């Protein structure tokens, strides 16, 4: 008998799924089972994307929403300089949503997962009266210690990858997690603290400072402001720099290293793209923005926060 609805979609996904020999049980059973490599530390993270908060279905394709749902969680593994391996995805879809939309959503999930050899090994599908909501859980691994938020030291140099701000223009649905860049950085230098910029540069830097018990000074002239931030500024009336400091959803890496390693990164960056930029220093306390004239102002951590 031909299946319909939820089970038809699961069958369709299952037929398109391929796993390596480390996956003992994949999609279709009550739970997945994997046999991880010996000598590795397991990393686990989960993230959600919700219609009306993270996207509008009227403004984004199913493919791009699926891409974001997977990429956001993979980016968290990048922040620890780890390797993503497996994914579990739970999705709630509105009653009556066309099957084509659900399949395109899966194709977006799968496209970014395939780029990093992540197997989608299970999850859940449900329908309800609300909008699209999806939660992706990533299981990754790390050889050696993961890089926490709380390891920054006074005197460290602060770096970012890429350019910041204006993600609402397009990038928040198209970004590529910085897994390869994080692994290259880990190999090249000793990383002290790292985070992915999901909530905004100033707010995520505040997380590093809080967890590390330190402060930070950012050099205004060195912050890489994206072309999208400049376009957003023309519409919003805010300075492009403010977009770079507070917009969030850049999903670039923000990290700190010692002075000697900072000099190595500037002289011999481990990758040419995206750009690697030193933007400040870790200090004893407080958060400041240092202006080109040498004056400084207090930098308040601002960005996107739920429940505000």
pTM (two decimals): 0.91
Residue 101 clears pLDDT 60, i.e. is over it:
yes
Angle subtended at Cα 284 by Cα 163 and Cα 259, rounded to the nearest 5 degrees: 55
Give the residue extent of every domain in the chain: 5-142, 157-298
Residue 27 has pLDDT above 60, yes or no: yes
Beta carbons of 290 and 160 less than 8 angstroms apart? no
Mean pLDDT of 25-38: 74
CATH architecture of 157-298: Alpha-Beta Complex (3.90)
Question: What's the pLDDT at 29?
Answer: 67
- Nearest to 20, CA basis, from 10, 34, 30: 34
Strand order through the sheet with 276-283: 193-196, 253-257, 157-161, 276-283, 215-219, 287-290, 296-298
**Residue 105, Cα to own-chain centre: how many angstroms?**
19
From CA 174, how far away is CA 25, in angstroms rounded? 31
**Please, which pLDDT band fits residue 302 given cuts at 50, 70 and 90?**
confident
Residue in the block written with tokens 């010692």:
258
Give me the pLDDT at residue 1, please.
35
> If we measure between CA atoms, which residue out of 176, 208, 229 comes closest to residue 283?
208
Mean pLDDT of 22-30: 74
Q: Say if strands 287-290 and 215-219 run parallel, antiparallel, or are unpaired.
A: parallel
* Percent of the chain with pLDDT strictly greater than 90: 79
Instruction: Provide the CATH topology of domain 5-142.
Output: 60s Ribosomal Protein L30; Chain: A; (3.30.1330)
> For position 21, what pLDDT does the model report?
76
∠ CA 167-170-172, nearest 5°, is: 50
Which of 89, 118, 112 lies closest to 23, judged by CA?
Answer: 118
Is it the case that residue 4 has pLDDT exceeding 70?
no
Whole-angstrom Cα distance, residue 236 to residue 146?
Answer: 39
- Pairing relation of β-strands 119-128 and 83-94? parallel
CA distance linking residue 274 with residue 224, whole number of Å: 11
Q: Dihedral sign, CA of 74, 78, 80, 85?
A: positive
Instruction: Compute the distance between CA of residue 159 and CA of residue 280 in angstroms, rounded to an integer.
Output: 7
Q: Which of 100, 88, 214 lies closest to 149 in space, CA to CA?
A: 214
Q: Looking at per-residue confidence, does 305 or 209 come out higher? A: 209
Mean pLDDT over the full length of the chain: 92
User: Does the structure show a pLDDT above 60 at 32?
Assistant: yes
Calpha distance 180→251 (Å, rounded): 13
Contact 22, 34 (CB under 8 A): yes
CB 256 within 8 A of CB 156: yes
> In whole angstroms, what separates CA 174 from the centre of its chain?
11
Least confident of 19-33, 75-89, 97-111, 173-187: 19-33
pLDDT-above-70 percentage for the chain:
96
Q: Which two tokens stand for residue 8?
A: 């038809």
Tens digits of residue pLDDT in 240-287: 999 999 999 999 999 999 999 999 999 999 999 999 999 999 999 999
State mean pLDDT over 293-298.
94
Looking at the predicted structure, is the pLDDT value of residue 108 above 50? yes
What is the structure's pLDDT at 306? 65
Token pair 């400091």 is at which residue? 245
Q: How many CA atoms within 13 Å lie on the side-chain side of 74?
A: 31
Average confidence (pLDDT) over 55-59: 92
Least confident range of 23-32, 45-54, 146-155: 23-32
- The pLDDT tens digits for 109-156 are 999 999 999 999 999 999 999 999 999 999 999 888 899 999 999 999
């Amino acid at each position: 008998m031909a299946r319909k609805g939820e089970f038809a979609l699961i069958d369709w996904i299952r037929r398109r799924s391929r796993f390596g020999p480390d996956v003992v049980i994949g999609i279709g059973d009550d739970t997945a089972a994997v046999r991880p490599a010996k000598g590795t530390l397991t990393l686990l993270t989960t993230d959600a994307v919700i219609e009306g908060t993270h996207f509008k279905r009227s403004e984004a394709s199913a493919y791009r929403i699926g891409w974001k749902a997977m990429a956001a969680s993979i980016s968290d593994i990048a922040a620890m300089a780890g390797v993503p391996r497996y994914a579990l995805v739970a999705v709630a879809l509105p009653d009556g949503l066309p099957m084509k939309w659900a399949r395109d959503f899966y194709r977006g999930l799968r496209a970014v997962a395939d780029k990093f050899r992540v197997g989608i090994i299970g999850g859940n599908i449900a329908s309800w009266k609300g909008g699209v909501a999806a939660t992706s859980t990533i299981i990754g691994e790390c050889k050696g210690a993961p890089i926490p938020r709380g390891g920054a030291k006074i005197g460290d140099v602060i770096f970012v990858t890429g350019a910041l701000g204006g993600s609402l223009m397009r990038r928040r649905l198209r970004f590529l997690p910085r897994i390869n860049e994080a692994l290259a950085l880990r190999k090249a230098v000793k990383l002290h603290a790292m985070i992915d910029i999901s909530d905004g540069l100033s707010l995520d830097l505040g997380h590093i400072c809080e967890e590390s018990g330190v402060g930070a000074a950012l050099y205004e002239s060195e912050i890489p402001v994206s072309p999208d931030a400049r376009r957003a500024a023309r519409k919003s009336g805010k300075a492009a720099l403010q977009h770079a400091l507070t917009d969030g959803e850049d999903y670039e890496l923000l990290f700190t290293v010692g002075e000697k390693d900072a000099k190595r990164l500037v002289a011999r960056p481990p990758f040419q793209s995206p750009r690697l930029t030193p933007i400040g220093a870790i200090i004893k306390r407080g958060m400041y923005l240092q202006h080109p004239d040498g004056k400084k102002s207090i930098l308040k951590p601002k960005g996107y926060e739920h429940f505000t």
